[in-house]
Amino acid sequence: GVESENCPSFSASLKAKKAVYTESLSTLADGLAVPLVGVNALETAKDYTDKMVVVKEESIALAILRLIEVEKSVIEGAGAVGLAAVIEGLLPELKNKKVVIALCGGNIDTTILGRAIERGLAVDGRLVRFVVTVSDRPGGIAELAKLLSSNGASIKDMFHERAWLKSDVFSVQVKVVAETRDQEHADEIHAILKANYKQVAWGPRHF
């Protein structure tokens, strides 16, 4: 069985050998977000459960994205956790074997679906965020845009920050969200930025 890390109630109950209350946090797999497993359900399932794994929310988002792109199927988070476990590498005993993953449920709100796709793209290295300090003289930001486009990255969002900079008044901090082909391409863009600019902060924690 598979659960989200934000509500691993069945795993906790199996370990305790009784139904235990588990705090339920917000999760893409909301259909599995049951803070207290039913006593009868636990008694029925425990002898037929060989293994329970807990997946990250990022893996669920990536699984939803993979199903849309590869299988052309829209599956809700609770239905995609099986693929999420495989993607996360939590079932190494199944490697090189033919595996059947049950994909059940397409009850996902379009707004949540959009967020899941973007989260999946970010996990996949195809949506990146970074902050770079460039010259605030004419053409400074244009040079950054040209550098990104010439190396295959597409700018999705860009924000300028001048007032709270601690550097000189002739610099501007540019916050960028960009689309890349994959993780390898994202790493290439990161290296190119570091080679061309002195101040580059990579990743969401700098926003």
What CATH number was assigned to the domain covering residues 2-121?
Answer: 3.40.50.1100
- Residue 160 has a pLDDT of 87
Domain-by-domain residue ranges, the chain? 2-121, 125-206
Residue 6 CA to its chain's centroid (Å)? 14
Listed residue (96, 197, 99) closest to 141, CA to CA = 197
Residues with pLDDT less than 50, the chain: none
In this structure, are strands 127-135 and 200-202 parallel, antiparallel, or unpaired?
antiparallel
Q: Is the pTM of this model over 0.95?
A: no
CATH superfamily placement of domain 125-206: ACT domain (3.30.70.260)
pLDDT of 164 reads 73
Q: Widest CA span of the chain, in angstroms?
A: 70
Which residues 6+ apart lie within 8 Å of 80 measured at CB?
A: 28, 29, 60, 63, 64, 67, 103
| H/E run at residue 83 | helix 77-87
Unique residue bearing structure tokens 């793209």: 121
CA dist 78 and 107 (Å) reads 9
Share of the chain above pLDDT 90, in %: 89
Q: What is the predicted pLDDT for the residue at 191?
A: 97
| C-alpha torsion angle, residues 148, 181, 156, 203 (rounded to 10) | -80
